[in-house]
Structure 1
Amino acid sequence: MICHLVERSAWSVGAAGYRPASLGAEGFIHFSTPAQVLATANRYYRGRDDLLLVVVDPRRLSAPLRWEPPAPPSSVAGPAAATAAPTATDERFPHLYGPIDAGAVAVVVPFPPERDGTFRMPATIW
Structure 2
Amino acid sequence: MTDAVPERIFHIATAADWRRALGTGTYTTSTVGVTLEEEGFIHASRREQVQGVFDRYYAGLDEELVLLTIDPARLASEVRVEPVGDDTYPHVYGPIHPRAVLEVAPLDRRGRTETLQSLWIKGMAKRMGVALVVMAVVTLVVLVVERQA
**What TM-score results when the alignment is normalised by the length of structure 2?**
0.61
Paired amino acid for 2:59: R
CA distance in 1, matches of 2:112, 2:46: 14
Offset at residue 120 of structure 1 (A): 2.7
The percentage of counterpart residues that share the same residue type is 38
Offset at residue 18 of structure 1 (A): 1.4
Please give the root-mean-square deviation of Cα atoms over the aligned residues, in Å: 2.0
For 2:112, the equivalent position in structure 1 comes to 120
Residue 86 of structure 2 aligns to a residue whose secondary structure is coil
Q: 2:98 aligns with which of 85, 88, 102?
A: 102
Corresponding position: 1:60 with 2:69: no
Q: 1:26 aligns with which of 35, 39, 45?
A: 39
Q: Is the 8 A contact 1:38 1:121 kept in 2?
A: no
Residue 77 of structure 2 aligns to a residue whose secondary structure is coil
Could you say which structure has the higher strand fraction?
2
CA distance in 2, matches of 1:25, 1:68: 18
Give the structure, 1 or 2, with the largest relative contact order (CA under 8 Å, sep 6 or more).
1
Paired amino acid for 1:10: D
Unaligned runs of 5+ in 1: 71-88
Unaligned runs of 5+ in 2: 1-7, 117-149
CA distance in 2, matches of 1:46, 1:101: 26
**What TM-score results when the alignment is normalised by the length of structure 1?**
0.70
CA distance in 2, matches of 1:104, 1:15: 15
Could you say which structure has the higher helix fraction?
2
Offset at residue 109 of structure 1 (A): 1.5
Corresponding position: 1:36 with 2:49: yes
For 1:17, the equivalent position in structure 2 comes to 26
CA distance in 2, matches of 1:45, 1:19: 17
For 1:82, the equivalent position in structure 2 comes to none
Corresponding position: 1:8 with 2:15: yes
Residue 10 of structure 1 aligns to a residue whose secondary structure is helix
